[in-house]
Amino acid sequence: MRVALVSAFLEDQVYEHKLDDSFMENTICKEDHFYHRIARALSKKNIEVVVFYPSKEKIEKKFVHKFGHQIVRVPVKYIPFIHEPIVYSPRLVEIIKNEFDLCQFVSGYYVMYKVPDMFDYIVSKLHNQIPIIARWAGGNHEWMTILRKPIKKKSLNRCQKILCSGKNEISNLKEIFDIPSEKISYLINPIDLDIFKKKDKIKTQKQLGLDVEKKYFLYVGRLTINKGIEELLEAFKEIKKIKKEIILIFIGDGPLKKEITEFVKKYNLENSILLKGRCSHNEISVYYNASSILFHIGTSGGLPNVVIEGIASGLPIIASYNGANEDFVNEKLGTGILIQPGNKSQLKDAIFMILKNEEKFSKNISNVTINFTYEAFGEKLVEIYESIKKK
């Protein structure tokens, strides 16, 4: 079986960088992005996979990822339009239709709110041609226009399966988009538990050259709006006046980097807020173990990979009441504390509670991590493929 793993995003915009040959070879082909972890899990089950990256680059080209599977950069048609551009790719549809047995969307947030997006376009062209699997990882359906919602509903219902990672997402699919239960499967993206696991905090701090007398707060992800970064900065600034030993570390890149840098300079926090840029998964795993709290307090839904990785590393998490966060981050499991998005008061209270009871939140790693392995993921996904083939 040949499976096309497809991003429904214009990846140039996601990375804020041209997907030229150099960037593809030196960044995309070497990173541990979850697209490629999905490909790796399937390759272990002898499924032939190709990952497709839609791009504004005009030349189609094939690359090889470090895990061994093929990546194809495929050109798109790009039309600027009011709030969001119209993006589609006849070439991508042609390749999938002629060369693959199944199309699986691996990008999570393909609710573009204003106009039919790449997901809608590809589904409309492949419907009744080959089986289609979608991934619903949130996005705020309340932002959709009245005309937009029926388009998304039609596209989702044309898929043979929709993968979700949270109970709230499953409810939304059933109640908002009228997706029948038999079309929905619960599945969490895989992580490498040989990398993401609990390690000695002092040793990892020394490995990173950090001061073992300090306590480290960690944010991993895109530096962009709706991630709670603004509230985190303000809360940190206020708590820093009381807790002199805390340091805030940002791993990732994005449009808010400039604002964070300006905030740091304005409040003389050069030694207290550190921007590390993009890091490899091996590096990030060390930071998880060197830190005291991980933050995921934005408004976007889904179950972020950083939350899974943090849980597997035994790192207490402060997360917002959004999507699958509620299933995995809570005081009952001992994995962290949930707060309302944008609520700085709740954020500060949660920080103080974890600092006061850090051992309580970090001594146990949730048993759910067994479901995060490549083996468990690959086995479940192959079962889904087989169930689709039988219909």
Judge whether 106 and 113 are in contact, CB under 8 Å. Answer: no
pLDDT less than 50: residues of the chain = 110-113
Q: Are strands 48-55 and 273-277 parallel, antiparallel or unpaired?
A: unpaired
The residue among 143, 144, 100 whose CA lies nearest residue 122 is: 100
Paired tokens of 23: 């960037």
> Looking at residue 143, what is its pLDDT?
55
What's the token pair of residue 51?
């990952």
CA angle centred on 13, ends 11 and 14, rounded to 5°: 60
Question: In Å, how far are 31, 213, 217, 231, 276 from 204, measured between CA atoms?
Answer: 22, 13, 14, 28, 16
Which distant-in-sequence residues (6+ apart) come within 8 Å of 173 by Cβ? 136, 156, 162, 164, 179, 184
Residue 164: beta bridge partners? Answer: 186
User: 138, 169 in Cβ contact below 8 A?
Assistant: yes
Tokens representing 112 are: 């573009």
Q: Provide the token pair at 109.
A: 């947030």
Q: Do the two domains 2-190+373-389 and 201-371 of this chain adopt the same fold?
A: yes
At residue 367, the pLDDT reads 66
Beta-strand ranges (E) seen in the chain are 2-6, 48-55, 61-64, 70-75, 77-79, 86-88, 102-105, 132-135, 161-164, 184-186, 215-220, 246-251, 273-277, 293-296, 317-320, 336-339
Structure tokens at 241: 């006046």
List Cβ neighbours of 107 (8 Å cut-off, separation of 6 or more). 6, 7, 8, 9, 35, 119, 135
Q: What is the reported pLDDT for 172?
A: 84
pLDDT at 144: 59
Please report the pLDDT score of residue 150 as a whole number. 84
Taking alpha carbons only, the member of 110, 98, 9, 112 closest to residue 51 is 9
Q: Where on the phi/psi map is residue 132: left (φ > 0), alpha (ψ -120 to 50), or beta?
A: beta
Helices (H), 71-163: 90-99, 118-126, 148-157
Residues 6+ apart with CB under 8 A from 252: 219, 220, 221, 222, 223, 277, 278
Domain locations in the chain?
2-190+373-389, 201-371
Which amino acid belongs to residue 151?
A: I
Report the C-alpha gap between 266 and 243 in whole angstroms: 19
Q: Specify the DSSP class assigned to residue 44.
A: T
Confirm or reject CATH 3.40.50.300 for domain 201-371, answering yes or no. Answer: no
pLDDT of residue 113: 47
Report whether CATH 3.40.640.10 matches the domain 2-190+373-389: no
Give the C-alpha distances (Å, rounded to integers) separating 80 from 20, 74, 87, 284, 346.
Answer: 21, 19, 9, 36, 40
Closest C-alpha among 225, 217, 188 to residue 374: 188
* pLDDT, position 141: 59
